[in-house]
Amino acid sequence: MPWTYRNTHDGEPDEDSESGVIDDEKNPGSPEDGVDAGSGGSYMKWGFVKDALVILVIPLAIWGVRLEVTRWVQAKEIEVMQKDLEEYESEIKEISQHVQENSEDLAVLNQKITDTRETVDEVNDFLRSQ
C-alpha cells in the first residue's frame, strides 16, 4: 500500500500500519512532497539548487552571447580603424613629401629673390654713379 505523509507535530512517533500513514519523525517526506524520504531533505535541497541553476543559466547564456557579440564587433571596429590608420599614414607620407618639395622650391625661390635683389642693387648703384 502506498504511504502518505502526515505531520502530527506532537513529537511522538505515530505509525498506523493499517492506513499506511507515517508521521514526520520516522519519514521526513516523500518524493511527491519534494523531499526524498531516505536522504533527510537532500532531494529538496537538490531541487532548490537545480531550480536556481536553471534560473541562472538563461541570463548567463544571454550574457555570454552578448559578450561574444560585443567582442566580435570590437574586433571588426579595430580592423576598420587599422585600415583607416594605414590609409591616413600613407596620406601623411604623401603630404610630407609635398611639404618637403614645396620647402625645396621655396628655398630656390628665396635664393632667386636674393640674387635678383642683389642685381637690382648693383643696377641702382651703377645708375647713381653715372
Residue carrying the nine cell digits 632667386:
112
Is residue 23 over pLDDT 50? no
At 49 the three-state DSSP class reads: helix
For the stretch 41-57, pLDDT in tens is 677 888 888 888 888 89
| Cα(115)–Cα(110) distance, integer angstroms | 9
Give the chain's mean pLDDT. 79
Q: Computed from CA positions of residues 107, 110, 112, 118, in that sequence, does the dihedral angle turn out positive or negative?
A: negative
| Cα(76)–Cα(92) distance, integer angstroms | 24
For the stretch 73-115, pLDDT in tens is 999 999 999 999 999 999 999 999 999 999 999 999 999 999 9
Nearest to 20 by CA among 43, 35, 2: 2
pLDDT band with cut points at 50, 70 and 90 for residue 67: very high
